Amino acid sequence: MEKCQYILERDLPSPATDEQLETILEALADPDNSVNFGHSAEKWLADTNTSEQELCGAIDRHIRAGRKVFRKFEKGSKTKLLPDDVQANVTIFNDEDDLYVSIWIQPGIIINIYAHEHPTGRHRLPQ
């Protein structure tokens, strides 16, 4: 496996808030009514023959294990944060399989999950 490089700590956005994490966990507890999957996540699920429940479970485990979840910068900015978006580098099946996951939190405990493989040559978020 090729060694990956991670984004430097000084270049990372701030961590997700406790409230954001609680909202995500609450939505993941009732995915049929509270979770939407964006096109990128649907494509990744189909390409890898992974179920929506497996992806939701991996995100839930990531958060409950205290692994890192970050806010997201506005496109083209290194200082302005999006108010309702978070991102993480989530382990799916084992310590070698990880996935970039972006979550948009909407009012009413609804989350939209976007996910894709890490682009070649791009630095990853630390876990």
Task: Please name every residue paired with 102 in a beta bridge, in sequence order, or none if there are none.
Answer: 87, 114
Q: What is the mean pLDDT of residues 35-52?
A: 93
3 state SS of 35: strand
Q: Tell me which residue range forms the domain holding 90.
A: 21-116
Indicate the number of domains in the chain: 1
Task: Please name every residue paired with 124 in a beta bridge, in sequence order, or none if there are none.
Answer: 6
Task: Please name every residue paired with 106 in a beta bridge, in sequence order, or none if there are none.
Answer: 110
DSSP state of 15: B
Given this model, what pLDDT does residue 116 score? 79
pLDDT band at residue 122 under the 50/70/90 scheme: low
Q: What is the mean pLDDT of residues 100-116?
A: 90
More confident residue, 108 or 31: 31
| Other CB atoms within 10 A of residue 75 CB | 7
pLDDT tops 60 at residue 4: no
- Domain assignment present for residue 13? The answer is no
Tell me the residue type at 15: P
Given this model, what pLDDT does residue 29 score? 95
- Domain assignment present for residue 98? The answer is yes
Residue of 97, 85, 32, 23 lying closest to 60 (CA atoms): 23
Mean pLDDT of the chain: 87
pLDDT tops 70 at residue 121: no
Given this model, what pLDDT does residue 6 score? 64
- Domain assignment present for residue 16? The answer is no
Query: pTM (2 decimals)?
Result: 0.87
What's the CA gap between 88 and 70, in Å, rounded? Answer: 6
Q: What is the CATH number of the domain that holds 89?
A: 3.30.2310
pLDDT band at residue 3 under the 50/70/90 scheme: very low
